[in-house]
Amino acid sequence: MKRFWWIPASILLLTACVPTQTNETEVIGTEEVETAIIPSMQLDDQFYRTLLPYKQSATRGKIVNRLNSRYDIEEAEKGLLRLSQNQFSPDDYYFQEGQKITDEEVSAWLRRYHPEDNPTGLNAEDKRAPLSEEELEAGETRENPSPEILAHIIEQNYLVKTNEDTIRLGGVSVGLALNSIYYSENDQGVSYEETISQERLESEGKRMADEIVNRLRQKEGMADIPITVGLFKQKSRSTITAGTYFIYGVAPGGENSVAKWNPINEEFVIFPSSNPEEKYREVDTVFKNFKQDVEEYFSNFTSVIGTGFYQGDSIRKLQIEIPIQFYGSSEVIGFTQYLTGLVMKHFPENIQVEIDLNSVNGAEALILRKTNETEPIVHIYE
């Protein structure tokens, strides 16, 4: 193992959170703030550089209450970043959290439409007549209302540097997180759930997307800004994998609706699988062989679970989580060395493999072997 690094977690936190204006940054004027700091270092060509000081979106925080799991919360934002690269290259654009949609607007848009109380609501109107007191006392119930399909709206801004050394808005991406299963209660307070078909998700999502594009066009400076919109399908509350974006489109500058929709074929798959489909079988076999070798070394941990990220029929990334119950530094080092060898032994180089080793004390080690690289990079936390 040629790359073996000791990195205290406290140093990682400090370097990540404290921006400094050195020769690694550039201070320039912007249209909305007087100055901004742009780090000159780009960690990877897949990462956008971000303006400092960091400006949070007005809708931040609502995502936690609106999405079903932490997996959906993470992927709804990361997936939107990924599909935005089709329109806004990280080489030319800088990232900023959404600043155009206000907190009041997104709160109203997420609620049901009502011609008087909430005319901007994007979810279906509840047209049912209320039950009378006699009907309620008799235990009568109405049929359930149309499900609320729209769960959350995510906005991301992409900025470009002009010839006058200023930053201006160059593009906007909007992610619409949609419920594949609607959870609610009937008039008697009894919980129920309703599955929403893929066809309905897509048609309603496209309708809402065009309406949001039209509303954004009315905002100052947005008339000619290209807008990318992605539709994200949430998984159920009980799943341990994230949902994914299944379609996206772009409204070119000056257009009030999405001009063309493009399908996205992405999914997350859990390994090991008891009955894998044909396209997952090879990776599942490799993973089971890896898991068996892990169990020969140490038996006092709970499980080895892998999550594969597929684009089309090909796996792009395999993330493996291994919780451990031992605490000695020598055990962690020994086990990490052993796992590193297993990565090189079992997994082909065309798959990015990431292993997170955790205990009750937190992160213990990280093993990362990027696509088409021979040797992994290893981090052990003190």
3-state DSSP of 65-85: HHCCCHHHHHHHHHHHHHHHC
Pairing of strands 25-30, 4-6: unpaired
pTM as predicted:
0.84
Name the burial class of residue 339, with classes exposed (0-12), middle (13-18) and buried (19+) by CB atoms within 10 angstroms of its CB.
Answer: buried
- Where does the chain have alpha helices with state H? 9-17, 62-66, 70-84, 103-110, 133-137, 198-217, 278-297, 329-346
Nearest to 1 by CA among 382, 371, 369, 372: 369
329-346 vs 278-297: helix crossing angle, rounded to 10: 150
pLDDT attached to residue 18: 37
pLDDT attached to residue 14: 34
Task: Give the CA angle between residues 330, 336, 340 to the nearest 5°.
Answer: 150
pLDDT attached to residue 56: 79
pLDDT attached to residue 22: 38
Dihedral of CA atoms 195, 249, 227, 170 in degrees, nearest 10, equals 130
Nearest to 370 by CA among 354, 355, 357: 354
pLDDT attached to residue 143: 84
pLDDT attached to residue 346: 95
pLDDT attached to residue 124: 94
pLDDT attached to residue 46: 67
pLDDT attached to residue 33: 39
Name the burial class of residue 92, with classes exposed (0-12), middle (13-18) and buried (19+) by CB atoms within 10 angstroms of its CB.
Answer: exposed
The first and second tokens of residue 83, run together, are 């599909």
Nearest to 168 by CA among 117, 225, 103: 225
Q: What is the pLDDT along the chain (382 residues), one digit of tens a residue?
A: 434 444 333 333 333 333 334 334 454 444 543 355 665 555 556 688 887 777 877 776 665 456 667 788 889 999 999 999 999 999 999 999 999 999 999 999 999 999 999 999 999 999 888 877 887 777 777 888 899 999 999 999 999 987 766 788 999 999 999 999 999 888 777 888 999 999 999 999 999 999 999 999 999 999 999 999 999 999 988 888 899 999 999 999 999 999 999 999 999 999 998 888 888 999 999 999 999 999 887 665 558 899 999 999 999 999 999 988 766 788 888 889 999 999 999 999 999 999 999 988 889 999 999 999 988 999 998 7
Domains of the chain: 55-115+146-264 (3.10.570.10), 270-380 (3.30.300.190)
pLDDT attached to residue 162: 79
pLDDT attached to residue 198: 97
